[in-house]
Each structure stands twice: as structure tokens, then as C-alpha cells.
Structure 1
Amino acid sequence: MFWLIFCIFFAACVGAGATGGLFSPGPWYRDLKKPSWTPPDWVFPVTWMVLYVCMALAGARVAVMPDNGVAMAFWAMQIAFNGLWTPVFFGLKKIRLAMAVIGVLWLSVLLTLIALWQVDLIAGLLFVPYLVWVTIASALNAAVWRLNPDEARAH
């Protein structure tokens, strides 16, 4: 039963991640000024695949435990904002709005981590790398906004 539940959570993660395929970075993103510490392109899909496995494991662990309602609600919220950021940033090219979305994503990941942790320590720990990555992504979004003020105002 655990592995079936894991597959359901993993499918939700892959669904959110599929927005990356629908709204790929393309020339617009390549032409933006980015900070020197921007990770190379290959890092993003590798990192997200590892994170999605961790996120699905955390969700599946807590889904089968009692008193999991708050944690599951936060898990659902964070995956919704996870899937929203890519279309806003890459699809709509709304750098400022994407900053707001990633801010809500960061907060929802933190709250999910805390809620998971209260039900299962390992599940909470599985969300720590995700929070670190979203923190990096938030800083990158902010730096792109700062380095490209005309582009941020144009869209």
C-alpha cells in the first residue's frame, strides 16, 4: 500500500514539474542577466528529480499515519504553488509576480516541513533539501528581477 501511495504523491510532483516542459526557459531566459552563482542548466532537472522523490516519500510516509490532516493540506498547497511558478516566470515572463509566487511557495514549504515533522521526523527531514532549494530559487528570482529591471517592468 505504501508504494501505491508513494506513486500517487510522485505523480503529483511530476505533474507540477511538467510545467517545466510546457514552459521551458528558451531564449528569453537565456538573454536575461543572471548572477554569477546561477547553477548550470543541467542542475535544475537533476535537483528537481531528487527533490520530487523526497517530497513523495515524505507525503507517502505521513499519508498512512494518524493525525495527518494539517500536513496533507500543506503538502497539497505547496505542490500547487510549485506548479504555478514556472508558468508565471517562464510562460508569462512576469518576474515580479513570480517573486510573489515563490515567496508563497517558500512559506508553504516551510509550513509543510513543520507539519510533516510534527507527524513524522523523517518526513520533515525529507523536506529540508526542498526548503534549501526553494531558498536558492527565491534568491535567483530576486537577483534576476534586480538585474533586469526593464524586463521586469515590461511584462
Structure 2
Amino acid sequence: MDWTVFIILLCATGAAAATGVLFQPGEWYISLKKPSFTPPNWAFPVVWTTLYILMALAGARAVAAGGPLLGQGMALWGLQIALNTLWTPVFFGAHRIRVGMLIISLMWVVIGATTVTLWQIDWIAGLMFLPYWAWVSVAAALNGSIWRNNPDRLRG
């Protein structure tokens, strides 16, 4: 594995992580009606840090493995991290629950496509994306539940 590629991809995940620092949940999020399966607040930074490292490792493994699907795999990798970076300021910053649902739904599909493609390049890289896909499944269900349970809080 090329450690330079890993560091570059880790920096890309760092940009997504930075949105979590810039747009923290705050009072608005605390006041929302959330489902019983909402993870505790301490879990979010722990889980996301782990997932961002796994994403960077998966991408670096795929680059090292190469092959005819590498271009597609890395394009999907770039799209999923872009959507990941976008969701936090839309949901927590702009309080756009519906738009957040649209973004996270698209992100879920792209993560799935990325997982399948990476799996074809290097099965371990694909395996590294499965926890991310699972966590975003929970996050999407949480976003959807918040949308459903807070009709008075919808903007635009």
C-alpha cells in the first residue's frame, strides 16, 4: 500500500470530519424529537473517526491493487466523500431535514456502489466499507425519523 495515497485520502476524509466540528448539533438538534434507536452523543466522533480511517485505507488498498475498475472505484470514492462532506452543513448548519434526507439517501446508494466496486478490486477494501454503509443506514433512518417526527421543524 502506498502511504502517500493513504494520507491524501485521509486528508479528504478530514475535510468531511471538519464539517462536524464547524456545524455541531447544538440546541436545535437536541430539541428535535428523535427515535429510541438514536445513538448516544459520544458514539458519533468515535464511530466517524474509525470509519474515516477505514475509508482512507480502503481507497489506498484499491489504488495499490489497481485494475480496470480502479477509475470507477475512485470516482465513486470521491463522490461518496463529497456527499458525506455536504450532509453535515445542510442538516446541522442549515437545518434542512428534507434536503439532508435526499443527500444521505444518495450517499447511501453511492456508498453501496463504492463498496461493490472496491470489493471487485480488492475484497478487503470492499469489506472495509461495510461498517460505513451500515452506519450510514442508521444515520439515514435517524434522518428519516426526525423528518417524520418533526413536521413543524421543516424549512423550505
TM-score range, shorter chain: over 0.9
Superposition CA RMSD, Å: 1.0
1:122 is the counterpart of 2:129: no
**Structure 1 residue 48: Cα displacement:** 0.3
**TM-score when scaled to structure 2?**
0.96
Q: What per-residue deviation string (whole Å, max 9, x for no partner) do you get for residues 100-135 of structure 1?
A: 000010001000001101111000000000000000
Identity of aligned residues (%): 53
**Structure 1 residue 87: Cα displacement:** 0.5
1:107 to 84, 106, 109: 109
Task: Give the aligned partner of residue 135 of structure 1.
Answer: 137
Q: Partners in 2 of 1:63 and 1:88 — Cα distance?
A: 31
Q: What per-residue deviation string (whole Å, max 9, x for no partner) do you get for residues 33-54 of structure 1?
A: 1111111101000000110111
The gaps in structure 2 that reach 5 residues or longer are none
1:56 is the counterpart of 2:47: no
In structure 1, the residue corresponding to 2:35 is in which secondary structure?
coil
The gaps in structure 1 that reach 5 residues or longer are none
Q: Superposed, which structure 2 residues align to 1:66-105 within 5 Å?
A: 66-67=67-68, 68-105=70-107
**Structure 1 residue 66: Cα displacement:** 2.7
The amino acid across from 2:131 in the alignment is: P
**TM-score when scaled to structure 1?**
0.96
Task: Give the aligned partner of residue 28 of structure 1.
Answer: 28
Counting matched residue pairs gives 154
The amino acid across from 2:102 in the alignment is: A
Q: Partners in 1 of 2:16 and 2:8 — Cα distance?
A: 13
Q: Partners in 1 of 2:4 and 2:82 — Cα distance?
A: 21
**Structure 1 residue 136: Cα displacement:** 0.3
In structure 2, the residue corresponding to 1:104 is in which secondary structure?
helix
